[in-house]
Structure 1
Amino acid sequence: MWNKIVTESDISNFMRDINSFSDSCIKEIRYVSGGYVNEDLSMYAHNSKRNLYICIQRQYNTFSTIELMFQGVYKFSMIPRNGHKDCVIYDSSLIKKRNLYYWADYEDLDINNIEEYGTLVIAEQIYWRNINTNLGNKEVYINNLE
């Protein structure tokens, strides 16, 4: 079941309950634009969905795997650390400003200076759900082409 984050209280409670994603890692990411090409090669060329899904695993017994869903994505950027560095989220930020949600995998997000950070999502809506059955290295977002 998806839980919608709407109010400042929702944000505070969620971030408290998941300890601001401390000791976590982004396991997988999936994006659905809404656009597609039909079998007759005609195109539906509209970003009608703009949904981003992020699977995050945590070193906690409660909420050990959480999926975030961002709807109406305005911006998504990711600068992963190279293979010689860790991928640990030590802290994160979730801010609501002017009816947009800003989530980043670092603390003290400055929404006026968003170009220098690791992972950042700006979206119209945010939801989360607990998917604790998905610990380990098995892929959550299965590639049906294999």
Structure 2
Amino acid sequence: MWKELCGQNEIEELLEGFGYFHDSCLKEVLIHSNSFVNNELSMSVDPTAVAYLVFQRQFNVGYSVIEMKFEEVEQFCLNPCPKNYDAIIFSATIFQIEDTFYWSNDEEFSPEEIKITKWLHWISAKKVMWRALDNALGDSKRYRSES
């Protein structure tokens, strides 16, 4: 069951339940727009995007795996780590400015002063939901190509 982030109380519940993302990793990302071309080759253009992010962490207190859903994505930045670096998230932040939510793997992240680094991930969206995933540790893919 999805839990919506409506304000600071829900943000704190998620951060505390997932250990502030300590010793976690971003395992999978799925992004889709609502634009498409139909069988008559007519295009339906809808600029809104939805992103799903799955995180796993090395603790069995609280949640070990969560999925976050970001609706009406405004910006998304994924910068993989350089070679010979690990992709461990040591802590993350979630906050709201006016009607926009932000998540970043940099607890000092500020949308007013974005400093792009090779390991920075962040996303902003109008609506955010999350849910715990049971039996979802390991390398199995949640989002698969149908081919």
How far apart, CA to CA, are the structure 2 residues paired with 1:116 and 1:77? 9
After superposition, give the CA deviation of every residue in 1:69-122 in whole Å (9 maximum; x if it has no partner): 001100001111023110100000101001100100121222211242511101
What aligned pairs does 1:1-146 form with structure 2 within 5 A after superposition?
Answer: 1-48=1-48, 50-61=49-60, 62-117=62-117, 118-145=120-147
Ranges of 4+ aligned residues in structure 1 off by more than 4 Å: none
Tell me the distance in 2 between the aligned counterparts of 1:66 and 1:13: 13
How far 1:46 moved relative to its partner? 1.6
Query: Aligned residues, how many?
Result: 144
Quick one: distance in 1 between partners of 2:96 and 2:124? 10
Cα RMSD, aligned residues only: 1.2
Aligned mates of 2:70, 2:114 — CA distance in 1: 18
Local SS of the residue matching 1:134: coil
Q: Which amino acid aligns with 1:58?
A: R
Provide the C-alpha distance between the structure 1 equivalents of 2:135 and 2:36, rounded to a whole number of angstroms: 31
Structure 2: unaligned runs, 5 residues or longer: none
Give 1:10 shift. 1.2
Structure 2 Cα separation of the partners of residues 40 and 110 of structure 1? 44
The runs of 5 or more residues in structure 1 that have no matched partner are none
Please tell me the residue identity of whatever aligns with 1:24.
Answer: S
